[in-house]
């Protein structure tokens, strides 16, 4: 019996290499947007990057950032319920209060309070 009789396939692994500055390729000289390293809060300045946060805190940041993009009350309720479940049942804030205190203060001052309790425009 051969490999074709059994139904097996053979393959060859080919590696690719990146060649930069090929004529006709788009120029990628556009700098990427850098996130700030220092975040100002009422308590002081904290240094953290969003990429260094644990996944559950990045998810909370993403949900709270996108909260203003939605108009429907049902979507707001679902998003805030997700944040509640992450904070209460998944214990995502357990170690964050010590290790990522600056993020928690910044998120409360800049994402939660202004979006949930907007100042009156009298």
Position 96 scores a pLDDT of 84
Cβ partners under 8 Å of residue 72, min gap 6: none
Q: What residue has token string 């214990």?
A: 91
pLDDT at 30: 53
Nearest CA among 28, 98, 111 for reference residue 66: 111
**Tokens matching residue 14:** 């080919």
Token pair belonging to 1:
């019996």
107 burial type by CB count under 10 A (0-12 exposed, 13-18 middle, 19+ buried): buried
pLDDT digits (tens, 9 = 90+) for 68-110: 888 899 999 999 999 999 888 877 888 788 888 888 888 888 8
Q: What percent of the chain has pLDDT over 90?
A: 20
Rounded to two decimals, what is the model's pTM? Answer: 0.63
DSSP 61-116: HHHHHGGGG---HHHHHHHHHHHHHHHHTS-TTTTHHHHTHHHHHHHIIIIIHHHH
Rounded Cα–Cα distance for residues 21 and 27 (Å): 8
């Amino acid at each position: 019996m051969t490999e074709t009789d059994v139904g097996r396939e053979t393959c060859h692994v080919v590696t690719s290499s990146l060649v930069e500055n090929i004529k006709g390729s788009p120029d990628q000289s556009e700098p990427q947007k850098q996130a700030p390293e220092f975040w100002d809060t009422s308590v002081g300045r904290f240094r953290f990057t969003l990429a260094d946060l644990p996944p559950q805190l990045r998810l909370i940041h993403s949900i709270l950032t996108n909260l203003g993009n939605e108009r429907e009350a049902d979507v707001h309720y679902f998003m805030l319920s997700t944040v509640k479940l992450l904070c209460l049942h998944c214990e995502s804030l357990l170690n964050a209060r010590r290790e990522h205190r600056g993020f928690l203060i910044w998120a409360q001052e800049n994402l939660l309070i202004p979006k949930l309790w907007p100042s009156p425009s009298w």
